């Protein structure tokens, strides 16, 4: 361990070992082009700031130094670091200042009084000048866009002026109605959408389109041919079917295949084996009916592998050949399906992108992707590049980029277009390039960050600019034990086996931290696998589902894990650790929420510094609930929240008493219909008003009622911002919440409440905003903000949120989670770092069965995910300065690659903490945990049925409808009526489809309709036959997708207060006529005067709704006949 600290210090310059002094001499020299790959805690930002200081010392104007990072927070931190450095230099004496300059690579021979005096004067010089240009990528691109000619803006379809859309969630939410309207208006898109829904389901299709929208840069840059032809043809992937035009009819078009299959069938039937005889006969029958699916069922397993048993033949080679044909046919069919999916999703995605672009232009919006694409175009355009080059040359002498591993291909392409101007015939004074980053910390693929860009930039700086390539694997942050654990995990055989050519190189780290530190593991919580212990809601314990939520064992273990980790944190705090020295890291915010509750219950201040929406703030939600209650006096839930909040200070007892004053009316099921017309109970607001008229009412309720009346008056007479201002003053909101929240949260809560005031002015520029619009906007807003972080609280962060931070104690939650499951309805993109556009874009319905031509691309993408998962572990571990604590619980799925398993397999001296917690607060079930950390349910095996409360009646809020209860129907109905109702239900379940050879009702549905209407099997078959005849008869068009624009079953319409239910209402696409279709089991309903009158009433009702349309009405009978009576009758 000592040797690790003193001798294994890792610095390299251009591939050769280097001393620290030589390393920093090169890295901080502002006259050299440099790329630095530095590990976590190596001081990447320190190097960048040092190089800025050196550039200022070398007489570079402050405004000519362009430093780029990725977030506004990082840019602000960088500005602060530069300001601190210059302020420090201004105050140091000569000896200390000389040491500072030496540490930053200034040669000893260059340090003299003149240089020292210049260093001291840099602060005043920078403050007096135009300042440093420290920006985010998007901020710099936006500044380029401001100097772009209007012709470029017009060619890119960008508005001028424009509003920069920092968060596109609002635009994404608004685009769907426009998209669906566009799909409906186009026959091809409508067909594509219907087929996609039929194949994949609505939710999956929506997710796929949303994913495509997030990849709009890749889709927009790819050509239509690249998108539509992303999946290779069947001829290119399955050579045997290269000349088959219709794969599903291959037996007709490929006599050679049919002959081979027939020979195999004959060979099997003649083998004398019973199983082979049966298989051969089945194969022959399948060939006779041209059913290739049945052929595959005989020869192949469900997974598509050749069957090994039951296919004995006189000539086994014939069976092998037949199986090969069947396998090839399956692959060809799968490839054809993938081609159809690719083309459907490509067309739908392009339509969605057009709608999204149109929406942004309507609103005058420009998003971050637009900024990137415009900057890339501006810097790469041959006609504009010289002009832009001149502008940039005059303004930039130093280009410094931090966290370069988070760069995406578009950002790199824009930079490269600029920098390539200096290579070869380019002119101008070359800005000195400094790039620093760590590919091992690249965890932003969902933001299109691409680690390969770092390698491409390294090669460009080294080869094209003649720069230096530096690497540093020496950290100043992590203790010895943490570095030892990190090296062991990252250099383990499993990790090395997963490495690819694109994986970042991990070299053993060394550390300057002299602490030994500790790596701890809290007991792993595991559930008993016995069936009776899989759920706390065991079958022998009655649970009132209206009052007691069901507890899933995995959720229970997650809560146990959070409480166990919280108690460990509490032990450290009680032993003298400061809360701000503790950081808890989890993969998801849900786990952090559990941890926040557990820490708060123990009285430990904690906070989630990551960005959240306004409505996520409990204080803001209270104020919004009050506004909601004022707008909607009957919204009891909103009013209850407001009264219980610090705004009014109500107690549970006071709210319970108020609820009881609403005079609820209860009835038993035995009461008759006239008795059910009791008025509904009063709303809480009305109950308050009523109480104020009674004597003896407590003053608190009178105060509530008068306050609500006053606030309602404000709401009706004042602008919204004035309403909120008066409300804040009247309720003394800031003081009330300062006394209600933990002291560590006062700053953040104050900022959130003030942000709500700002939002009332920002929404629609504060003009014409109604309270209702404001409440809806705040509730639905997705823009996230960062709030002040308490200085003395435990920090709760996701892995992504923790990047760039550190703490003495780091607790990693949920480390035993399995790897993510295979994705469905995804999109694969092949975008080489040297190419301006993607080479391939492939839409994948299921990753378990990708297109044959995309398996290599999928393997590359999956490898990139594994790399990112490994990078996430690296980021999480390297946050710990002294103590690294692992926490986990059993999860379903393969956990061989979990962080917990990987760390435990390294044979590290991981220390186990004390015995875990044994009870989840808020539950009644007792749990014990043995020494191995296994949770065991100790409920007695004796069955004890809890007392079930007697039914007391239900509150009546409205008159019940006369709809028959679900379940078995009244068996007293006539048989003919029940058969007719069953036929109705089958027709109601039948969807509209593109084409239908026969109706599709599952066996489950047929059995369900039999049970629903108390029919025998033969009676059910009569209803089934009638439904089939209707769907396949003269009215079949009413269920065909291409012939109708609208079709609905059991359609409720309200006419003059009367509710009518139509069996089927259809709008014909070809004639534009509405059709009212009435299903009748009577074969001649046109001779029944009551039925004719009813049909006429239906038609008249629809005509009153659509007076400008022709409305026709007809009976559909079990004979398959459509009967349209004469309207004059």
- Residue 351 is predicted with a pLDDT of 96
Return the closest-CA partner of residue 787 out of 909, 614, 920, 638: 614
- Work out how many domains the chain is built from and give that number: 5
CB proximity list for 696: less than 8 A, separation 6 or greater: none
Q: Do 410 and 350 have their domain in common?
A: no
Q: Which residue has the higher pLDDT, 786 or 910?
A: 786
Q: Is residue 966 part of a domain?
A: no
- The DSSP result for 789-831, as a single string, is PPTTSEEEEEHHHHTT--EEEEEE--TTPPPPPPPEEEEEEE-
**Secondary structure (H, E, C), 875-891:** HHHCCEEEEEEECCECC
Q: Contact, 95 vs 158, CB < 8 A?
A: no
Domain boundary, last residue among 305, 329, 363? 363
Least confident of 123-137, 622-636, 908-922: 908-922
- How crowded is the C-beta side of 358, counted as CA atoms within 13 Å? 13
Domain boundary, last residue among 746, 780, 814? 780
Distances (CA, A) of 206 to 343, 369, 591, 1097: 16, 21, 27, 40
Q: CATH number of the domain that 1072 lies in?
A: 3.90.320.10
CB proximity list for 1039: less than 8 A, separation 6 or greater: 990, 991, 992, 993, 996, 1031, 1047
Q: Do 577 and 553 have their domain in common?
A: yes
The two three-digit tokens of residue 350, written as one number? 């392009």
Please state, for a pLDDT cut of 90, what percent of the chain lies above it: 44
Q: Are strands 1058-1068 and 1044-1055 parallel, antiparallel or unpaired?
A: antiparallel
Q: Do 215 and 346 have their domain in common?
A: yes
CA distance 8 to 6: 6
- Residue 541 is predicted with a pLDDT of 59
- The DSSP result for 921-966, as a single string, is TT----EEE-TT-EEEE---SS--PPPPPPP--EE--SPPP-PPPS
Q: Do 545 and 575 have their domain in common?
A: yes
Least confident of 72-76, 84-88, 573-577: 72-76
Q: Is residue 710 part of a domain?
A: yes
Q: Do 836 and 931 have their domain in common?
A: yes
- 584 three-class SS: strand
pLDDT at 442 over 70: yes
Helices (H), 113-254: 113-128, 137-146, 150-155, 169-185, 187-200, 202-214, 216-221, 224-228, 234-237, 250-253
Q: Average of pLDDT values for 939-948?
A: 40
Element (H, E) at 742: none
Please state, for a pLDDT cut of 70, what percent of the chain lies above it: 84
pLDDT at 265 over 80: yes
- Residue 499 is predicted with a pLDDT of 63
pLDDT at 529 over 80: no
Least confident of 164-173, 310-319, 531-540: 531-540
- Residue 393 is predicted with a pLDDT of 54
User: Which residues is 474 bridged to in the sheet?
Assistant: 510
Distances (CA, A) of 648 to 493, 520, 701, 705, 1103: 62, 46, 10, 11, 54
Distances (CA, A) of 1081 to 627, 976, 1025, 1114, 1116: 55, 8, 11, 14, 9
Q: CATH number of the domain that 585 lies in?
A: 3.40.50
Q: Is residue 750 part of a domain?
A: yes
- Residue 236 is predicted with a pLDDT of 92
Q: Which domain holds residue 397?
A: 11-137+377-472
Q: Do 242 and 346 have their domain in common?
A: yes
Q: CATH number of the domain that 453 lies in?
A: 3.40.50.300
- The DSSP result for 482-526, as a single string, is HHHHHHHHHTSHHHHHT--TTSPP----EE------EEEEPPPBE
Element (H, E) at 606: strand 606-607
pLDDT at 532 over 70: no
Q: Average of pLDDT values for 768-774?
A: 79
pLDDT at 42 over 90: yes
pLDDT at 315 over 70: yes
Q: Is residue 158 part of a domain?
A: no
Least confident of 325-334, 758-767, 1030-1039: 758-767
CB proximity list for 667: less than 8 A, separation 6 or greater: 675, 676, 678, 953, 954, 956
Q: Do 990 and 1012 have their domain in common?
A: yes
- Residue 925 is predicted with a pLDDT of 36
Give pLDDT tens digits for 484-499: 999 999 988 666 556 6
- Backbone angle region of 87, left / alpha / beta, with phi > 0 → left and psi within -120 to 50 → alpha: alpha
pLDDT at 525 over 90: no
Helices (H), 718-745: 720-730, 733-740
pLDDT at 940 over 70: no
Q: Average of pLDDT values for 413-422?
A: 82
Per-residue confidence band for 795, with pLDDT thresholds at 50, 70 and 90: very high
Return the closest-CA partner of residue 1101 out of 1047, 1054, 1069, 1043: 1054
CB proximity list for 213: less than 8 A, separation 6 or greater: 172, 175, 349, 352, 353, 356
CA distance 815 to 900: 5
Q: Contact, 350 vs 221, CB < 8 A?
A: no
CB proximity list for 1117: less than 8 A, separation 6 or greater: 1030, 1080, 1081, 1082, 1083, 1084, 1085, 1123
pLDDT at 184 over 90: yes
- Average pLDDT along the chain: 83
Least confident of 173-177, 826-830, 1049-1053: 1049-1053
Return the closest-CA partner of residue 1013 out of 1039, 1047, 974: 974
Q: Is residue 645 part of a domain?
A: yes
Q: Do 464 and 549 have their domain in common?
A: no
Q: Is residue 599 part of a domain?
A: yes
Q: Contact, 926 vs 935, CB < 8 A?
A: no
Q: Which residue has the higher pLDDT, 908 or 890?
A: 890
- Residue 973 is predicted with a pLDDT of 60
Q: Are strands 666-667 and 794-798 parallel, antiparallel or unpaired?
A: unpaired
Per-residue confidence band for 161, with pLDDT thresholds at 50, 70 and 90: confident
Q: Sheet containing 1074-1079: give its strands across.
A: 1044-1055, 1058-1068, 1074-1079, 1111-1116, 1122-1123
CA distance 361 to 344: 26
- Residue 978 is predicted with a pLDDT of 86
pLDDT at 267 over 90: yes
- 621 three-class SS: helix
Q: Do 390 and 307 have their domain in common?
A: no
CA distance 512 to 984: 79
CB proximity list for 386: less than 8 A, separation 6 or greater: none
CA distance 902 to 16: 32
- Residue 593 is predicted with a pLDDT of 87
In this prediction the pTM is 0.73
pLDDT at 742 over 50: yes
Q: Is residue 62 part of a domain?
A: yes
Q: What is the dihedral of CA 846, 849, 852, 858, to 10 degrees?
A: 60
pLDDT at 426 over 60: no
Q: Do 909 and 1038 have their domain in common?
A: no
- Residue 251 is predicted with a pLDDT of 92
CA 571 to chain centre: 36
Give pLDDT tens digits for 852-880: 999 999 998 888 888 999 999 999 999 99
pLDDT at 1 over 70: no
Q: Are strands 927-929 and 934-937 parallel, antiparallel or unpaired?
A: antiparallel
Give pLDDT tens digits for 974-1011: 788 888 888 988 888 887 665 556 677 877 788 888 88
Q: Contact, 541 vs 940, CB < 8 A?
A: no
- Residue 279 is predicted with a pLDDT of 94
Q: Do 211 and 346 have their domain in common?
A: yes
Q: Is residue 511 part of a domain?
A: no
Least confident of 154-163, 347-356, 1114-1123: 154-163
- Residue 160 is predicted with a pLDDT of 75
Give pLDDT tens digits for 1046-1068: 888 888 776 665 667 888 999 99
Q: Do 217 and 279 have their domain in common?
A: yes
Q: CATH number of the domain that 750 lies in?
A: 1.10.486.10
Per-residue confidence band for 966, with pLDDT thresholds at 50, 70 and 90: very low
Domain boundary, last residue among 363, 397, 416? 363
- Residue 954 is predicted with a pLDDT of 38
Determine the Cα angle at 68 with ends 62 and 70, to 5°: 145
pLDDT at 936 over 70: no
């Amino acid at each position: 361990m000592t040797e690790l600290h003193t001798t294994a210090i890792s610095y390299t310059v251009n591939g050769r070992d280097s001393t620290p002094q030589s390393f920093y001499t090169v890295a901080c020299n502002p006259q050299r082009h440099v790329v630095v790959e530095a590990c976590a805690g190596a001081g990447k930002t320190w190097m960048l700031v040092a190089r800025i200081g050196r550039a200022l010392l070398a007489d570079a104007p402050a405004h000519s130094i362009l430093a780029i990072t990725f977030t506004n927070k990082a840019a602000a931190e960088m500005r602060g670091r530069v300001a601190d450095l210059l302020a420090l230099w201004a105050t140091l004496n000569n000896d200390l200042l000389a040491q500072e300059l030496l540490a930053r690579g200034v040669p000893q021979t260059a340090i003299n009084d003149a240089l020292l005096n210049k260093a001291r004067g840099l602060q005043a010089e920078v403050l007096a000048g135009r300042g440093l240009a420290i920006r985010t990528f998007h901020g710099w691109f936006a500044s380029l866009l401001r100097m772009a000619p209007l012709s470029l803006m017009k060619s890119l379809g960008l508005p001028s002026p424009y509003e920069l859309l920092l968060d596109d969630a609002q635009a994404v939410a608004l685009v769907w109605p426009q998209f669906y309207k566009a799909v409906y208006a186009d026959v091809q898109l409508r067909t594509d959408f219907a087929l996609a829904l039929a194949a994949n389901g609505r939710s999956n299709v929506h997710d796929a389109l949303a994913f495509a929208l997030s990849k709009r840069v890749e889709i927009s840059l790819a050509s239509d041919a690249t998108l539509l032809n992303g999946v290779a043809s069947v001829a290119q992937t399955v050579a045997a079917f290269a000349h088959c035009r219709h794969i599903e009819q291959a037996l007709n078009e490929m006599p050679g295949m049919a002959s081979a299959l027939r020979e195999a069938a004959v060979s099997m039937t003649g083998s004398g084996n019973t199983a082979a005889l049966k298989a051969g006969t089945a194969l022959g029958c399948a060939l006779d009916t041209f059913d290739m699916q049945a052929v595959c069922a005989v020869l192949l397993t469900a997974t598509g592998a050749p069957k090994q048993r039951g296919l004995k033949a006189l000539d086994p080679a014939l069976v092998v050949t037949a199986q090969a044909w069947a396998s090839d046919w399956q692959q060809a069919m799968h490839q054809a399906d993938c081609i159809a999916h690719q083309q459907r999703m490509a067309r739908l995605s392009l339509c969605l992108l057009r709608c999204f672009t149109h929406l942004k232009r309507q609103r005058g919006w420009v998003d971050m992707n637009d900024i990137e694409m415009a900057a890339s175009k501006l810097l790469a355009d041959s006609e504009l590049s010289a002009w832009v080059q001149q502008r940039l040359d005059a303004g930039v002498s130093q280009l410094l980029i931090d966290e370069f591993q988070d760069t995406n291909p578009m950002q790199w392409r824009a930079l490269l277009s600029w920098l390539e101007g200096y290579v070869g015939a380019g002119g101008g004074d070359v800005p000195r390039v400094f790039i620093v980053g760590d590919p091992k910390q690249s965890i932003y693929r969902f933001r299109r960050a691409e680690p390969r860009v770092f390698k491409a930039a390294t090669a460009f700086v080294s080869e094209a600019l003649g720069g230096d390539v530096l690497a540093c694997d020496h950290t100043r942050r992590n203790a010895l034990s943490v570095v030892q654990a990190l090296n062991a995990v990252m250099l383990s055989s499993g990790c090395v086996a997963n490495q690819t050519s694109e994986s970042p190189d991990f070299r053993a780290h060394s550390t300057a931290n002299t602490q030994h530190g500790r790596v701890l593991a809290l007991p792993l919580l595991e559930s008993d696998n016995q069936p009776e212990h899989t759920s706390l809601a065991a079958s022998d314990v009655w649970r009132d589902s209206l009052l007691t939520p069901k507890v899933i064992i995995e959720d229970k273990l997650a809560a146990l894990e959070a409480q166990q980790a919280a108690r460990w944190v509490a032990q450290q705090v009680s032993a003298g650790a400061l809360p701000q020295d503790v950081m808890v890291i989890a993969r998801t915010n849900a786990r952090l929420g559990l941890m926040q509750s557990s820490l708060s219950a123990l009285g430990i201040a904690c906070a989630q510094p990551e960005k959240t929406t306004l409505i996520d703030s409990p204080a803001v939600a209270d104020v919004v609930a009050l506004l909601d209650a004022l707008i909607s006096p009957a919204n009891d839930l909103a009013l209850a929240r407001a009264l219980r909040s610090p705004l009014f200070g109500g107690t549970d007892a006071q709210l319970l008493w108020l609820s009881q004053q609403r005079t609820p009316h209860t009835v038993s099921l035995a009461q008759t219909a006239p008795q059910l017309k009791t008025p509904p109970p009063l709303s809480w607001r009305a109950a308050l008003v009523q109480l104020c008229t009674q004597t003896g009412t407590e003053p608190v309720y009178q105060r509530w009622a008068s306050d609500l009346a006053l606030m309602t008056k404000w709401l009706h007479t004042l602008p919204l911002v004035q309403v909120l201002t008066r409300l804040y003053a009247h309720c003394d909101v800031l003081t009330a919440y300062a006394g209600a929240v933990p002291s560590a949260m006062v700053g953040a809560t104050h900022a959130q409440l003030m942000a709500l005031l700002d939002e009332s002015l920002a929404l629609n520029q504060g003009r014409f905003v109604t309270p209702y619009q404001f409440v809806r906007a705040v509730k639905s807003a997705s823009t996230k903000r960062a709030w002040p972080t308490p200085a003395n609280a435990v920090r709760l962060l996701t892995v992504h949120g923790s990047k760039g931070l550190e703490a003495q104690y780091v607790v990693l939650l949920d480390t035993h989670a399995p790897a993510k499951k295979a994705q469905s309805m995804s999109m694969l993109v092949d975008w080489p770092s040297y190419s301006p556009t993607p080479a391939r874009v492939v839409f994948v319905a299921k990753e378990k069965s990708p297109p044959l031509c995309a398996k290599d691309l999928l393997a590359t993408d999956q490898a990139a995910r594994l790399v990112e998962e490994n990078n996430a572990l690296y980021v999480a571990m390297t946050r710990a300065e002294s103590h690294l604590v692992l926490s986990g619980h059993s999860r379903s799925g393969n956990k061989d690659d979990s962080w917990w398993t990987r760390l435990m397999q390294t044979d590290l001296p991981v220390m186990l903490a004390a015995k875990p917690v044994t009870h989840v607060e808020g539950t009644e079930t007792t749990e014990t945990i043995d020494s191995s950390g296994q949770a065991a349910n100790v409920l007695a095996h004796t069955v004890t049925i809890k007392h079930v409360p007697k039914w007391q009646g239900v509150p009546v809020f409205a008159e019940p409808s006369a709809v028959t209860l679900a379940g078995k129907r009244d068996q007293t109905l006539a048989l003919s009526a029940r058969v007719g109702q069953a036929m109705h239900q089958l027709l109601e379940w039948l969807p509209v489809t593109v084409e239908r050879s026969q109706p599709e009702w599952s066996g489950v549905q047929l059995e369900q309709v039999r049970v629903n209407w108390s029919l025998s099997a033969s009676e059910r078959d009569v209803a089934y036959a009638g439904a089939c005849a209707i769907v396949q008869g003269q009215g079949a068009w009413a269920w065909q997708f291409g012939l109708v624009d609208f079709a609905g079953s059991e359609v409720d319409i309200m006419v003059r207060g009367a509710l009518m239910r139509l069996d089927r209402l259809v709008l014909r696409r070809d004639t534009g006529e509405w059709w009212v279709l009435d299903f009748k089991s009577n074969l001649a309903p046109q001779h029944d005067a009551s039925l004719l009158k009813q049909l006429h009433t239906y038609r008249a009702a629809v005509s009153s709704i659509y007076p400008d349309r022709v409305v026709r009405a007809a009976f559909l009978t079990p004979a398959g006949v459509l009967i349209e009576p004469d309207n004059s009758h």
